[in-house]
Chains A and B, each alone.
Chain A
Amino acid sequence: MTDAQSSSANILRAHAEDAYADELQALAAVDDRPRPPSWRLSPWAVATYVLGGTLPDGTQITPKYLGSARLVEMAVATLATDRALLLLGVPGTAKTWLGEHLAAAISGISTLVVQGTAGTPEEALRYGWNYARLLADGPSRAALVAGPVMRAMETGSLVRVEELTRIPSDVQDSLITILSEKTLPIPELNEEVQARKGFNVIATANNRDKGVNDLSSALRRRFNTVVLPLPDSLDQEVEIVATRVRSLGTALELPADLAALSEIRRVVTVMRELRSGVTQDKRTTLKSPTATLSTAEAISVMTNGLSLATHFGDGTVRAEDVAAGLVGAVVKDPVQDQVVWQEYLETVVRNRPDWKDLYRACRDLESSN
């Protein structure tokens, strides 16, 4: 962590392969297991890198993904075959995060990314043209601008496609040839790019807007699907939030005191209760808001609170620092969610003796509006 900090001191967020370069190096040094072609590490070492552990030489590998080891093993095993990997889950379940670290560990590069949007053109998945050259010299390899997928095919590395289901269906389907025949035809030049060994695709997609551009079954068949769940237990989620907030805080140079884990626990509890529609003690049924309230949102609420406490408070995160973020995370729809939040505030938060400060902070927020 400290190394990463010094080497990329002025960068807001370092790539995984830079931030954890020392860990990757240590792993490569002890890794004597067979590696698939073009892999920087063996599948075992990749799994260890993601899940954390202690190497025989004493190096501590920090866990990157706190959750089921089985899922990570499945993901790594998928990439070792020639099937592509589809990480599925609701927003904020560390799909992108896991994808980035897998790419960093396996190919040593996590920057080959296609961000899927409703307007992603086919060029983004295939290649574009340098039009000046195209007009001057006609179609040639020199006038071709390779996209991330094409570059990954040429170098035999992993390419990530984010939010696959946001991409229009006809564009999605251009992945089929790439995934099944591992070639990218360039009809304009009557050429093709054949993928080198080690090429593979990690796609992420969102359960929530599954219906937007559902994958065609032909494309779906080319993916192995791993569903990333929301954390099962409160403690696990608190740990995830604490770990991430601490590392984000370091990156953002927010030296606030995070010892007050109780605030994290409270935020996570609120999120979990609203998400599941029932209080932690299973006594009271609640309405659920439209927001997902994933772990990622808990992390952002806490980071926000941390920043408030550092710059405007005494450095200790208190109820008033997280209240605004919390309300903002829960109330996405001003009418519907407002009712849900009010109900929760009055029936649950108010009745918890040690939550008085949070209740007051949230009420104050309202009256000031």
Chain B
Amino acid sequence: MTDVHVLGIRHHGPGSARSVAEALASLRPNLVLVEGPPELDAVLPLAGEVGMSPPVAALIYASDEPRLASFYPVADFSPEWVAIRWALSTGTPVRAIDLPAAHSLALHIDGGPAAAPPSPPSSTSPPPSSTEEPSGAEPSSDPSQSGSPPEVPVAEAPDGDTRPKRPYRPDAIGMLAQAAGYSDAERWWEDAVEHRDAGPADRFEAITDAIAEIRAVDDRPADHPDVVENVRREAAMRRLLRAAIREGHGRIVVVCGAYHAPALVPANFPPAAADNKVLAGLPKTKVSATWVPWTSGRLSLQSGYGAGVTAPGWYQHLFAHWTTRGSTADVASTWLVRVAQTLRREKLDASTASVVEASRMADALAAVRGRPSPGLAELDDAAQAVLCEGSPLPMKLVHRELTVGHQLGSVPESAPTVPLAADLAAAQSRLRLKPSALEEVIAIDLRKPNQLARSVLLHRLALLGIHWGTPTETGRTTGTFKEAWTLSWEPELAVAVVEASRYGTTVASAAATFVAERAQDADSLTDLSELLADCLLADLPDGISSVVKVLAERTALQQDVPPLLESIAPLARTCRYGNVRGVDVTEVRRILDAAVVRASVGLPTACSGLDDDAAAVMRRAVDSAQHGLSLLPELSLEDWHRALAAVAGSDRIHGSVAGRATRLLLDAGLLDRDDVASRLSRSLSVATPAPQAAAWLDGFLSGDAVLLIHDRRLLQIVDDWVAGVDDEVFEDVLPLLRRTFSVFSRPERREIGEQLSRGTAPAQRPGDTSSLDIAAAGPAIRAMARYLGWEASA
């Protein structure tokens, strides 16, 4: 008869891990079964390889839809990890038992009502906001979260539930803790189980019995989704366990979450037929498994894939301490020494005497709170009161650096990688860009080939949705040869890589294919233009040609003028810089020419009857088009200017746009000053409603103040208008005016103000001779004329 021992553990509990290690050492089983989908069997042996260093996560994804994925994060102190490592080191066979991921992922594809929509945001879903105040009164005041942290935060769609983990484990531990009078299940487990120095095997039997009691009072209906799910999983576990028993192993150890322990005791097994019935007819999909590196930050609750471990660093400390010294005696003081060291690294005082005091205070606090030994809460409080002078800020630092930590795991090279990931890794080592969990800002000089290649790689990854780097401010330089990126390798990026791998086998080909697909699906011209610009940065000639093809069709069909205008700038940029990067731009140029013509034709009509918002959009579009056109001096702008003149000349067009058009024409030298002055005067005359006049002024003046400073006549007109506006109306136009003038620099505004305060002196324009005293100037003029060689006769 096979001897089956069920070890019900707390996932990621260092105490459970230690007990599991002790139990395995004394039981010496012939087979170890750990909770986890059986698909993991193929990659479990990798856990023993050199180069595998936790935190890591087993990753299972649907081969056809890599976005559907489940992670099984493990740390050094995870009981499952300990069991797997023990088995591998002793040559004992080890397997995973649970509902096959082939079914669980397929269930999400087919979907119950709450199951995954087509695109579960598995790689980017934000954490369900459980941000924890490190110095808060209760490290985790919600028992349902801390009670039974699941080892399997399956990457399913959040179905509106703010705690997506909850359905996976009924909070049995929380109920046990409540029965013991604890508000916080985590603390209970630490006190009652993990801090207990009893024999490991007895401990596990006691837990199994306790959980059985709890399960007996579970009164949820049989069709409750959680119950259905749990029944399936346990049936699957039993089926695999039965098979293992039939193989005739002498002694089997099962390591599973405490909640499942009672269901896996062979004495309580229901008939096999019942389990088979439960598992019959489940949908299936093809899945692949591999290992990915994980971080300690991800293990903590605050992160999207949080494993429910509030303090990975602390658990690591506990586990390391227990495994090396085997006693709980001075766990607290060594931790406080590490806290002090962390503080000292940040140049904060932390004397040895204070550490002694803090450790005493932690003991006293534990006594006040009726706990057998100080836990993390006591240590944090003591450290705050003694080492940080009561201030919570240094404790935040300690929390980040020590309690959570910055560990990044690694997986052996032999772990199955998706081809894209391999290509990416090759590129990373070629370009010497090491993925790191710590945020790092790099500056790239695009003039150097190697650095340009880095930029290209980052742009391609960004296109593929692998947001390893995010562009940042380059700082003071205005040059275009510099780029700055913030690099931070998040573990979910591994999913994004897997997900992107369906587009191609290399970063370049995947990005190009991705761009082509996006271009087909893009629904606005602006999107396409941006895509084009991205292609340019990501050096994807193939991508550009596919985008251009779509763009050519779309511009022809485009009815709306602003998007057309906005597509001009990216197209012009492509023409201007595409040559440099070896892109064939003749096709782009043809589209650009066509776009300019179409936009010019449509502009005057499109500008009539605009409300304020639409006018703002139009003005932005006109400005962007003008900017784009200025990039290509060889372009003929005749149509464009004609269109602008029509806009500027019409009285029915919104002031903001008309004013802008006037200004652009003035800048292009197509209107002379007198003309502009009369237009300004007309726009600001009494008959024009003041808000409209203010809008015109805004459109006309926005940009720089040189015009007003150097043309006193214009300034005079503006001044007179402002002075003449009715009090009530003035309140309405004031914000607009303020906005207009606030973009001017301070010296410019001062200059304008000074000119106005000098009073309404007659305009001193060259050629305006009315106020000159010719008689007084006579001698000077004559002398000047003599110098110039003129014969003076005046």
Q: Which of A69, A86, A217, A226 contacts B349 (CB 8 A)?
A: A217
Question: Is residue A285 within 8 Å, beta carbon to beta carbon, of the partner chain?
Answer: no
CA distance A83 to B386 in the complex (A): 9
Pair B385/A81 contact, Cβ less than 8 Å: no
Could you say which residues of chain A place their CB within 8 Å of the CB of B369? 73
| Nearest A residue (CB) for B366 | A77
Could you say which residues of chain B place their CB within 8 Å of the CB of A292? none
Question: Is residue A208 within 8 Å, beta carbon to beta carbon, of the partner chain?
Answer: no
Question: Is residue B93 within 8 Å, beta carbon to beta carbon, of the partner chain?
Answer: no
Pair B351/A77 contact, Cβ less than 8 Å: no
Nearest-Cβ distance from residue B733 to partner chain A, whole angstroms: 24
Query: Are A74 and B353 also in contact (CB < 8 A) when A220-B389, A225-B389, A227-B390 are?
Result: no
Q: Which of B44-52, B354-362, B584-592 contacts A (4 or more CB under 8 A)?
A: B354-362
**Number of B residues whose C-beta is below 8 Å from A?**
25
| Nearest A residue (CB) for B349 | A217
Q: Which of A83, A217, A221 contacts B361 (CB 8 A)?
A: A83
Could you say which residues of chain B place their CB within 8 Å of the CB of A88? 390
What is the 8 Å Cβ interface bit string for chain A, positions 3-47, against chain B (1 contact, 0 not)?
Answer: 000000000000000000000000000000000000000011001
CA distance A44 to B364 in the complex (A): 11
Pair A226/B390 contact, Cβ less than 8 Å: yes
Q: Identify which of B138, B354, B360, B389 gathers the most chain A CB atoms within 10 Å of its CB.
A: B389
Could you say which residues of chain B place their CB within 8 Å of the CB of A220? 389
| Nearest A residue (CB) for B138 | A70
CA distance A70 to B380 in the complex (A): 11
Pair A81/B360 contact, Cβ less than 8 Å: yes
Pair B367/A43 contact, Cβ less than 8 Å: yes
Nearest-Cβ distance from residue B385 to partner chain A, whole angstroms: 4
Pair A226/B385 contact, Cβ less than 8 Å: yes
Nearest-Cβ distance from residue A61 to partner chain B, whole angstroms: 16
CA distance A217 to B389 in the complex (A): 10
What is the 8 Å Cβ interface bit string for chain A, positions 65-87, against chain B (1 contact, 0 not)?
Answer: 00011100110111011010010
Pair B365/A74 contact, Cβ less than 8 Å: yes
| Nearest B residue (CB) for A86 | B390
Pair A224/B361 contact, Cβ less than 8 Å: yes
Could you say which residues of chain B place their CB within 8 Å of the CB of A77? 361, 364-365, 367-368, 381-382
CA distance A49 to B346 in the complex (A): 39
Nearest-Cβ distance from residue A194 to partner chain B, whole angstroms: 21
Query: Are A78 and B137 also in contact (CB < 8 A) when A44-B368, A86-B390 are?
Result: no
Nearest-Cβ distance from residue A73 to partner chain B, whole angstroms: 5
Could you say which residues of chain A place their CB within 8 Å of the CB of B137? 68-70
Nearest-Cβ distance from residue A338 to partner chain B, whole angstroms: 27
Residues of A in contact with B, size category: 20 to 34
| Nearest B residue (CB) for A73 | B368
Query: Are A81 and B390 also in contact (CB < 8 A) when A73-B369, A221-B354 are?
Result: no
Chain B at the A interface: mostly helix, strand, loop or mixed? helix
CA distance A80 to B385 in the complex (A): 14
What is the 8 Å Cβ interface bit string for chain A, positions 225-254, against chain B (1 contact, 0 not)?
Answer: 111000000000000000000000000000
CA distance A226 to B381 in the complex (A): 9
Pair A74/B385 contact, Cβ less than 8 Å: yes
Nearest-Cβ distance from residue A29 to partner chain B, whole angstroms: 19
Question: Is residue B605 within 8 Å, beta carbon to beta carbon, of the partner chain?
Answer: no
Question: Is residue B370 within 8 Å, beta carbon to beta carbon, of the partner chain?
Answer: yes
Pair A80/B367 contact, Cβ less than 8 Å: yes
Q: Which of A43, A70, A81, A86 contacts B381 (CB 8 A)?
A: A70
CA distance A246 to B23 in the complex (A): 61
Could you say which residues of chain B place their CB within 8 Å of the CB of A81? 357, 360-361, 364
Could you say which residues of chain A place their CB within 8 Å of the CB of B386? 83, 224-225
Could you say which residues of chain B place their CB within 8 Å of the CB of A83? 357, 360-361, 386
Could you say which residues of chain A place their CB within 8 Å of the CB of B391? 225, 227
CA distance A247 to B23 in the complex (A): 60
CA distance A226 to B454 in the complex (A): 51
Nearest-Cβ distance from residue B388 to partner chain A, whole angstroms: 8
CA distance A69 to B137 in the complex (A): 8
Could you say which residues of chain B place their CB within 8 Å of the CB of A73? 365, 368-369, 381
Pair B381/A74 contact, Cβ less than 8 Å: yes
| Nearest B residue (CB) for A75 | B385
CA distance A73 to B377 in the complex (A): 12
Could you say which residues of chain A place their CB within 8 Å of the CB of B381? 70, 73-74, 77
Nearest-Cβ distance from residue A192 to partner chain B, whole angstroms: 23
Pair A78/B364 contact, Cβ less than 8 Å: yes
CA distance A83 to B369 in the complex (A): 19
Could you say which residues of chain B place their CB within 8 Å of the CB of A43? 364, 367-368
What is the 8 Å Cβ interface bit string for chain B, positions 387-400, against chain A (1 contact, 0 not)?
Answer: 01111100000000
> 4 shortest A-B CB distances, which residue pairs?
A225-B390, A77-B364, A77-B365, A70-B137
Q: Can you pick out 17 interface pairs between chain A and chain B where the beta carbons lie within 8 Å of each other?
A: A43-B364, A44-B370, A68-B137, A69-B137, A73-B369, A73-B381, A74-B365, A77-B361, A80-B368, A81-B360, A83-B360, A83-B361, A221-B351, A224-B357, A224-B361, A225-B388, A227-B390
**Chain B residues at the A interface, C-beta cutoff of 8 Å:** 137-138, 349, 351, 353-354, 357, 360-361, 364-365, 367-370, 377, 381-382, 385-386, 388-392
**Chain A residues at the B interface, C-beta cutoff of 8 Å:** 43-44, 47, 68-70, 73-74, 76-78, 80-81, 83, 86, 88, 217, 220-221, 224-227
Besides the contacts A74-B361, A77-B381, A227-B390, what 9 more A-B pairs have beta carbons closer than 8 Å?
A43-B367, A69-B137, A74-B385, A76-B368, A77-B367, A78-B385, A81-B361, A81-B364, A221-B354
